Chains A and B, each alone.
Chain A
């Protein structure tokens, strides 16, 4: 169907207006001069200036970034291993339990995950701080990574790896030179997903962080409980901007890769 009916046009317009207008309002009002967020008093970037003077926010941002880099990297390694186990390891003792433990955290309410991890950390006497948040984020993010990577591994043609082994590669070399490059897009999107989940998480971080480590979501949450503030609007605008640039460039890169792959396949077919 090439022409859209009026009904479809209306539902798309309304739907996307609903999804985007709240964020647009946030962005527009972050440039508002007035301290009263709902009254427009002229254009100003002063809230951005104040934000960058605010040490508490800058520290929290730094902690959040550290946690996100560490936990998403660990989660990617563990999640990729788990995906290899799920797709390739065949039968072994406790396989059902293993796949259960991979899928359960995906549907577990965050309050329960947070509570249970906190009770563990207290039980073994681990001081709460950056370390414990990293452990917590790694655990739930690795499950997301393994789902993403295993969906790619399922369609992977194993004869490619066998060919590499026949041609004299060791299993490790075959994995590094053949398997890894092919599943790389899934591994990278798994890392990105883990990274965003960690940046975004409030509930689990609140349970597992100590007084020494406050992440940005915890800081934002305690600020917005008191109401809307122009500084938070400025911070939100920066975060929305980063995500938008990230998502658009990632989709452009993957589109380019797809085009290149198609071209290569066509060239190979022509031989």
Chain B
């Protein structure tokens, strides 16, 4: 009985508040928009039975998504932004993780804490901090004008550049931590052996360090790529009207256009796109867990 309750309570909670909502999204994505409350059709009616209800559902919204080029452009541009930002975060994060793993032992807990601290600080505030830096009369332009590097203020805020800066800034800890933990476990004598066998420092780095830290690199890349794909806050605060990201499109479709069926269809397609990286990420984590055994 106890075991039953232990399983049943969290199970029921997740069924009702995770799986059922999901089924509703799927259902509404197949419905039509209607000027009513709630604004979609058909409503489920017990009297008419399930078949009458199912007959009313169709793939119209999905067809609409392929016809209006706003949507597929937004998906493509989200993929492009997420991919580029992941590479940028890797390039910025790897040297930091590497240096942390090479730092004196007694510094490492402090360095770890310094990486984790921003993660606990409000995401919204960390994105907001860049608005003051990147705006036309912002701190960055002030410094650049004052030092005479530029004579006209640069427009950075409300462009894709600002979005990239914001993503790298907020997701950097997610990249650093898995790479650091892979590098921390790395046996230093392997690098010495490579150098003894005639590798230069750079060769030893490319041939030994990078391949051995690969699980950390892969985990870090997925931890950045997956959430960035559906990101809303960064494109809406730092991006401009030209920044197309699907999280923002979904938000506007729902809150501004009030088209629930299309918003649901956008969500379903986003999820289908995410299935691939999520499955790959899971496989990587499993392989790593088995390797550690």
Q: Is B211 an interface residue (CB 8 A)?
A: no
Q: Which of A208-238 contact B (CB under 8 A)?
A: 217, 220-221, 224-225, 227-228, 232-233, 236
Let me know if B121 and A23 touch, CB within 8 A: yes
Q: Is B139 an interface residue (CB 8 A)?
A: yes
Residues of B within 8 A of A19 (CB): 114-115, 118, 169, 172
Contact A94 B122 (CB under 8 A): no
Which residue of the partner chain A has the closest CB to B23?
A: A116
Chain A contacts for B18, CB-based, 8 A? 101, 104-105, 139
Q: What CA separation (Å) do A187 and B97 show in the bound complex?
A: 28
The reply to whether A116 and B24 form a contact with Cβ atoms under 8 Å apart is yes
Contacts of B15 in A (CB 8 A): 101
Inter-subunit contact A85/B10 (CB<8 Å) = yes
What is the size category of the interface that chain B forms with chain A? 35 or more
Interface pair A82/B10, CB less than 8 Å apart: yes
B264: chain A residues within 8 A (beta carbon): 115, 119
Q: Per-residue 0/1 for A137-181: is the Cβ within 8 Å of any B Cβ (1 yes, 0 no)?
A: 011001000100000000000000000000000010000000000
Interface residues of A in 230-271 (CB under 8 A from B): 232-233, 236, 239-240, 243-244, 246-248, 251, 255
B199 located at the interface, meaning its Cβ lies under 8 Å from any Cβ of chain A in the complex? no
* A7 surroundings in chain B (CB, below 8 A): 95, 99
Please state if A109 and B229 are interface contacts (CB–CB under 8 Å): yes
B13: Cβ under 8 A from any A Cβ: yes
Q: Bound state CA distance, A79 and B123, in angstroms?
A: 23
B103 at the interface (CB under 8 A from A): yes
Cβ-based interface call for B3 (8 A): yes
- Would you call A112 and B230 a contact (CB within 8 A)? yes
* A63–chain B nearest beta-carbon distance, Å: 16
Contact status of A1 and B6, CB under 8 A, knowing A22-B133, A120-B24:
no
Contact of A221 among B124, B226, B230 (CB under 8 A): B124
Q: Give A18 to B176 CA distance when docked, in angstroms.
A: 13
B250 touches A11 (CB 8 A): no
Does B156 have its Cβ within 8 Å of any Cβ on chain A? no
Interface of B: prevailing SS:
helix
- Contact residues in B for A217 (Cβ distance below 8 Å): 122, 124
- Digitize A1-43: 1 where CB-to-B-CB distance is under 8 Å, 0 elsewhere: 1101101110110011011101101100100000001100000
Min CB–CB distance B260 → chain A (angstroms): 7
Is B230 within 8 A of A111, CB to CB? yes
The reply to whether B22 and A116 form a contact with Cβ atoms under 8 Å apart is: yes
B247 lies within 8 A of chain A by Cβ = yes
Among A203, A225, A243, A248, contact of B237 (Cβ-Cβ < 8 Å):
A225
- Chain A residues contacting B131 (CB-CB under 8 Å) are 224, 227-228
Residues of chain B within 8 A (CB-CB) of A4 are 99, 102-104
- Chain A residues with Cβ below 8 Å from B117 are 243-244, 247
CA distance A217 to B121 in the complex (A): 12
User: By the criterion CB–CB under 8 Å, are B126 and A22 in contact?
Assistant: yes
In the assembled complex, the CB of A262 is this many whole angstroms from the nearest CB of chain B, namely 15
Known interface pairs A122-B38, A243-B117; A89-B232 also in contact (CB < 8 Å):
no
Interface-facing stretch out of A45-53, A54-62, A194-202: A194-202
Q: Decide yes or no whether B70 CB sits under 8 A from chain A.
A: no
B100 adjacent to chain A (CB < 8 Å): yes
With A98-B11, A236-B128 known as contacts, the answer to whether A119 contacts B25 (CB < 8 A) is: yes
Q: How far is the CB of A17 from chain B (nearest CB, A)?
A: 11
Question: Chain B nearest CB: distance from A77 CB in Å?
Answer: 9
Q: Is B251 an interface residue (CB 8 A)?
A: yes
- With contacts A25-B139, A84-B6, A217-B124 taken as known, whether A111 is within 8 angstroms of B104 at the C-beta atoms is no
Which of A120, A136, A227, A248: most chain B Cβ within 10 A?
A120
Most central of A103, A146, A240 by chain B CB within 10 Å: A240
Which chain A residues border B113 with CB–CB below 8 Å?
247-248, 251
* Chain B contacts for A22, CB-based, 8 A: 126, 129-130, 133, 169
Binds A, one of B51-59, B61-69, B213-221, B270-278: B270-278
What are 28 inter-chain pairs, A to B, with CB distance below 8 A?
A8-B99, A11-B99, A19-B114, A19-B115, A19-B118, A20-B114, A20-B118, A25-B133, A25-B139, A26-B132, A37-B132, A38-B137, A82-B10, A101-B15, A101-B18, A115-B267, A116-B21, A119-B25, A120-B16, A120-B17, A135-B17, A171-B2, A200-B123, A202-B124, A203-B232, A203-B233, A233-B132, A239-B122
Q: Rank and list the top 4 A-B pairs by shortest CB-CB distance, nearest first.
A: A109-B230, A116-B21, A8-B99, A15-B96
Given contacts A29-B132, A101-B19, A142-B10, 7 further A-B contacts (CB under 8 A): A7-B99, A15-B176, A109-B270, A138-B17, A139-B17, A202-B124, A240-B122
> A residues bordering B, Cβ < 8 Å?
1-2, 4-5, 7-9, 11-12, 15-16, 18-20, 22-23, 25-26, 29, 37-38, 78-79, 81-82, 84-85, 89, 92, 94, 98, 101-105, 107-112, 115-117, 119-120, 122-123, 135-136, 138-139, 142, 146, 171, 196, 199-200, 202-203, 207, 217, 220-221, 224-225, 227-228, 232-233, 236, 239-240, 243-244, 246-248, 251, 255
